[in-house]
Chains A and B, each alone.
Chain A
Amino acid sequence: MAVAIRNGTKVWQRRDRKAQFATWGVYLVGAAIFIYCWNLISDKTIWAFVLDAPTQAADLGARMVPPDWGSIHGLWRPIWDTLNIATMGTVIAVILAVPVAYCAARNTTPSVTFVRPLALFVIVSSRSINSLIWALMLVTIIGPGVLAGILSIALRSIGFCAKLLYEAIEEIDESQVEAVRATGASGAQVTAYGIVPQVLPAFAGISVFRWDINIRESTVLGLVGAGGIGLPLNAAITTLAWTQVSLILLIIIATVVVSEWVSAKVRHAII
């Protein structure tokens, strides 16, 4: 415990002298980096526009109320498409993530030196590239539409699902696997009866969790032409139809809140 002597009496301190200096040093370096970055950003900013923002926000807010409830009839289809993009994308991702996770987990991979790094690279590259960027690529390749959206959600989610799944596989109880193997089970039987039952709850939880995230992600894919509620949103913004924009935003909030609630319920039931 760190103690300072002040006027001859011992006083409790949280850190001793050296740790205190080290902490201040870290703060100093952090603050310097922050100020340096701030300067660079500030140079690229037109401050007149930023100072103008409150007026702009008030103006925009006034234009957005009341939401244009009449236009909701044209929105059912995009909402359905959004749900489909998220759900089917998740389904494809989950199916593809299983073999990747199997190859990436240290205790199940066929080869630690060759297959595992490859699987890890697949996971990292799928995770680093946002679904919107995947959509941007796929729209130029296979054309605009729902299919591009589904595939981009799937490609983005493989990494996420596989990462969580392979961590779950690595954390299983080896003794159960050992017990199944001791009965003379083959490799596939060991996987089916020793490993799968242990990771199945985690697997279901991961899928639902990712589905919930994907609902949110699929709301924007339309901005680059990949279908869903983003298409009418983009159209409303470009035509400055702000009352429609506010309606779409309300729908997005409602969808996300509902999907989050469903996902929390399901995960609660599983675990």
Chain B
Amino acid sequence: MSIAATSPRRWKKPPMIQRAWLRWSLALGAAIYLALALGTTEVNWTRVWEGLPRGVKFFSAFFPPDFVSRWSEIAEGIEESLWMTVISTVIGIALSIPVGIGAAKNIAPAPVYYFCRGILAVSRSFQEVILAIFFVKLFGFGPFAGCVTLAFATIGFYGKLLAEDIEDMDPGQAEAVRATGAGWLQWINYGVQPQVMPRMIGLGLYRFDINFRESAVVGIVGGGGIGATLNTAFDRYEFDSAAAILLVIIAIVMVVEYSSGYLRRWVQ
């Protein structure tokens, strides 16, 4: 028996993109883009160099951060942020339920579907801060404008995920409820809602977490909350107070994240 004389072949890792021309043109495009981007980015290196000692000063302000001298402002800002988060999450989720149901293709008629999808697209395109600028202009400075902003942003996030969840549901269960002669509301309540509820509770808690983080930035443009305090601290170059505020934010986000993870496990 003779073995066909084949030269020994070396194994090679298969590339991630199978088509060679696509792989090479992507790499070439990326290289050209990087060259262009780096070439056109203007960086004032002397200014950066001058700023480095200030950066060192900023980071040394974390050791130790100054919780004491501005504590009353910090506490007030944090409290306001928390109220804003609660109100905006509740109102935002309440409003996003009809929008989300309307944006689900398998439930809503076409005109309603496109209208609701339009609301979601607008709400998701604009960053919270841009929305906040306009709502501050309309409603005046203060937490109310921040609440409206966060509630509106919540509609885009929650409504879209709710719509996608409804589109992915098991139609059999909904069909079965309808076959008993249920009305539209009963159909939603007993056929659709139980299927999407566990995931939506988890997402609601997640959105609470996001709203708290965002409430720290809407304050920068006048929407109330801890952001205003933080902005003032930076403007006065009080880095130790700013460090304290950042640490408080991090701590609260960690607490919310852990407790929401715990709550989600308990609900599901």
Contact = CB atoms under 8 A, between A and B. Distances in A.
B40 A80 contact: yes
Contacts of B257: 124
Nearest to B122: A253
Contact of A219 (B44, B127, B133, B214): B127
Contact of A137 (B16, B58, B142): B58
Interface in B44-81: 44, 47-48, 50-52, 54-55, 58, 80
A143 B83 contact: no
B72 to A, nearest CB: 16
Interface centre among B124, B125, B134, B147 (most CB of A within 10 A): B125
Interface in B188-213: 190, 213
Contact of A129 (B125, B134, B231, B250): B250
Contact of A193 (B13, B122, B130): B13
A124 B246 CA distance: 12
A46 B37 contact: no
Contact of B237 (A34, A45, A140): A140
Interface residues on B, range: 35 or more
B87 A37 contact: yes
B142 A44 contact: yes
Interface class of chain B by DSSP: helix
A256 B37 CA distance: 19
Contacts of A49: 139-140
A153 interface: no
Interface in B71-102: 80, 82-84, 86-87, 90
A88 interface: yes
A237 interface: yes
Given A133-B217, A133-B230, A142-B48, A256 B16 contact: no
B220 A132 contact: yes
Interface stretch (A52-60, A104-112, A171-179): A52-60
A76 B144 CA distance: 35
A127 B250 CA distance: 9
A168 interface: no
Interface in A57-100: 57, 60, 80-81, 84, 87-88
B177 interface: no
A206 to B, nearest CB: 15
Interface in B111-156: 121-122, 124-127, 129-130, 133-134, 137-140, 142-144, 147
From A33, A128, A136, name the one whose CB has the most chain B CB atoms within 10 angstroms. Answer: A128
B144 A50 contact: yes
A141 B137 contact: no
Contacts of A165: none
Interface residues of A, number: 59
Interface in A222-271: 223-224, 233, 237, 249, 252-253, 256-257
A268 to B, nearest CB: 14
A116 interface: no
B32 interface: no
A184 to B, nearest CB: 15
Contact of A146 (B13, B16, B43, B47): B43
Chain A contact residues, majority secondary structure: helix
A35 B18 CA distance: 59
Interface in B237-268: 237, 242, 246, 249-250, 253-254, 257
A84 B55 contact: no
A143 B129 contact: no
B147 A252 contact: no
Contact of B129 (A128, A137, A141, A223): A223
A220 interface: yes
B246 A129 contact: yes
Contacts of A46: 140, 142
B58 A141 contact: yes
A132 to B, nearest CB: 5
A212 to B, nearest CB: 11
A121 to B, nearest CB: 9
A145 interface: yes
Contacts of A150: 41
A147 B45 CA distance: 10
24 contacts: A14-B190, A34-B86, A34-B90, A37-B82, A38-B87, A40-B83, A45-B144, A56-B137, A88-B37, A127-B253, A128-B254, A133-B216, A137-B234, A140-B237, A141-B55, A141-B58, A142-B51, A143-B44, A143-B48, A146-B41, A150-B41, A223-B220, A253-B122, A256-B125
Q: Ordered nearest first, which 6 A-B pairs have the shortest CB separation?
A: A49-B140, A143-B47, A128-B253, A45-B144, A37-B83, A141-B55
